[in-house]
Structure 1
Amino acid sequence: MPRSPFAFVLALLIGFASPIAAQSAATGNQITILYDAFSDKPGLTLDWGYAVLVEFEGKRILFDTGNDAAMFETNIKRLRVDLSKIDLVVLSHRHGDHTSGLRYVLSVNPNVPVYVPNDETFMQSTPAGFFAPPAENTSLPTKMRYFRGTVPMPSPAHGTAWPSARFHAVTKLTDITPHIHLISTLSETPGFRDMPEVSLILDTPQGPIVIVGCSHPGIENILANVATQTHTDSIFELVGGLHLVVSTPSQIDHSVSALLDTYHVQRAALGHCTGEKTFAILQKRLGENYRYAGVGEVLGL
């Protein structure tokens, strides 16, 4: 049967595409931006928060879930994303602008595994040592003792907004598949000290793609952790929020220099808390390797 003109033109376009673009078209590896505060596509809800769908080597991963469950649901339906078919959810950190849509996710896919930081917000029990009977307080009346002085003392679990979720704490480099990994970095940044944050790493022939939520530990510290754990100091692409939105020009310059000169980031698709100043600087520095990542964009990997 003769090939249609449309099929012929499509074949030519794929044939002349870049090797990376052609590989993406062949494999179906891509990232869809589901939630953020900017877009050039009509009909999508914009809000402060972040969520992306990562499709890589046959796995469908929801990374973060946005700030508002109803708004998240609206974008999911308008973008025709089937959450019942995702393989896992990753919540980068505990803040509501990354976790609020989980309630909607679980209504659609109640048994999906959810990977989270080792943070009591999600799953830690109250430390048992809090309830060890201190010798100096043995004279307290029962009514003033925790759990009436019961021995052995219980270690009650913290309450959670998602009691039915199948949470898995990420405490070390965690392999989802041989080419998909999760890593946790503990923040030492003032205001976010001791808050762990999980990042997603995809191994590609061009190098690792690192997907971050808010980079509260500092993007330099996250990439240093990635480099140590994966034995590479060259990052192919960086996706997500860098939390430079309120940083000074000198702080932004320092971070941009680390990304490009220390970790050799070749490509970027940034959003959320990165900040408009940083968008502009990295767009200028990376040129065509800076990829627009507004809500509704589908980025080939």
Structure 2
Amino acid sequence: MIVKVLMDNESVSDEFSQEHGLSLYIETGSKRVLFDTGASGAFADNAERMGVDLSAVDFLVISHGHYDHGGGIKRFFELNSKARAFISRRAFEDHWAAKPDGTRKYIGLDKSILDSGRVVPVEEYHVIEEGIELFSGIKGDRLSPSGNEDLYMDHAGKLQHDDFSHEQNMLITEDGIGVLFAGCAHRGIVNIIEEIAVEGNILLEAVIGGFHLYNKSRGTSELPEKIDEIGSYLRASGPMYYTCHCTGLKAYERLKEIMDGKLDYLAAGRTIEI
């Protein structure tokens, strides 16, 4: 399996654009998958620089209903005329982030995308095809990101704290190897691992995604004590971890010290093979 980072908060060099967002291109033995599209269309420019033909992508998965993961959907549809987009049914509700001054910023998806006829609404569990599954509805609340407290959703006309029921994780299994992709892990990376790998009895080779240990609205990192506890749990688990985006560099450096070689950072322009 080949994974190319088309967009991240950081980049490997000035040759590649960077923004607060995430986009990953994944090649399995038989499929080409795009996981998220960043905050804008800039992921497509990076794709061209990396030799990725977006018109050949078989399908798109959007991890959750925030602009920094689905802001480039229209650009993708312009470049690819066939791929369908698998998005949680709840992702198109209104989503907001509280700012330090008490106001709120809209951070949801562009709802006009629904008119494209290419969106596949996904429930809590969905099999795209054999070996590619989507999971949402993670139930645990252990070591959940504190930054979630600043995030809201409008459900049935009522503004409430976001429960991230719209967040889905993708599991790709190939040749007996499981790789888990988590866009932001708003439900908590520990809870996701517990439910999918431990309770689901799935052997994971690698976990790739953001851990939401950086609060963009406040410009703050997660408390060191919580980072340490998360790092200890991940170090004791089986997979290799590749993080990015909303983990934040400060939290990443602390986790890296704890995890003893089991953590790496994926910046835009990077390619890994699993």
TM-score of the pair, normalised by structure 2: 0.77
Q: Distance in 2 between matches of 1:257 and 1:288?
A: 12
The equivalent residue for 2:7 is 35
**1:177 matches 2:129:** yes
The equivalent residue for 1:146 is none
Q: How does 1:190-229 map to 2 (within 5 A)?
A: 190-192=149-151, 193-195=162-164, 196-204=166-174, 207-227=177-197
Q: Distance in 2 between matches of 1:37 and 1:120?
A: 22
Aligned counterpart for 1:248 among listed residues 220, 223, 228: 223
Q: Deviation digits for residues 233-284 of structure 1, max 9, x if unmatched?
A: x5321111000122101111222223233xx143111100012233223333
Cα displacement (A) at 1:43: 1.3
Q: How many residues align?
A: 235
Q: Distance in 1 between matches of 2:91 and 2:18?
A: 30
**1:112 matches 2:112:** no
Unaligned runs of 5+ in 2: 94-109, 142-147, 152-161, 215-220
The answer to whether the Cα contact below 8 Å between 1:117 and 1:197 also exists between their aligned partners in 2 is yes
The equivalent residue for 1:160 is 111
Cα displacement (A) at 1:295: 1.0
Q: Distance in 2 between matches of 1:106 and 1:165?
A: 11
The answer to whether the Cα contact below 8 Å between 2:208 and 2:241 also exists between their aligned partners in 1 is yes
Give the CA RMSD over aligned residues.
2.5
Question: What percent of counterpart residues are identical?
Answer: 27
Q: Deviation digits for residues 79-107 of structure 1, max 9, x if unmatched?
A: 22111100100000111111111111001
Q: Distance in 2 between matches of 1:172 and 1:95?
A: 18
The equivalent residue for 2:201 is 231
Q: Deviation digits for residues 20-55 of structure 1, max 9, x if unmatched?
A: xxxxxxxxx210000012122331111110000011
Cα displacement (A) at 1:120: 5.4
Cα displacement (A) at 1:165: 4.3
The equivalent residue for 2:31 is 59
* Higher alpha-carbon Rg: 1
The structure with higher relative contact order (CA 8 Å, sep 6+) is: 2
Q: Distance in 2 between matches of 1:30 and 1:224?
A: 25
Normalized per residue, the structure richer in helix is 1
Aligned counterpart for 1:291 among listed residues 260, 264, 270: 264
The equivalent residue for 1:68 is 40
Amino acid at match of 1:183: F
Amino acid at match of 2:25: L
Q: Distance in 2 between matches of 1:228 and 1:283?
A: 23
Unaligned runs of 5+ in 1: 1-28, 123-158
Q: 1:292 to 1:216 in 2, by over 3 A?
A: closer
Cα displacement (A) at 1:214: 0.8
TM-score of the pair, normalised by structure 1: 0.70
Once the two structures are overlaid, the 10-residue window that deviates more, 177-186 or 209-218, is 177-186
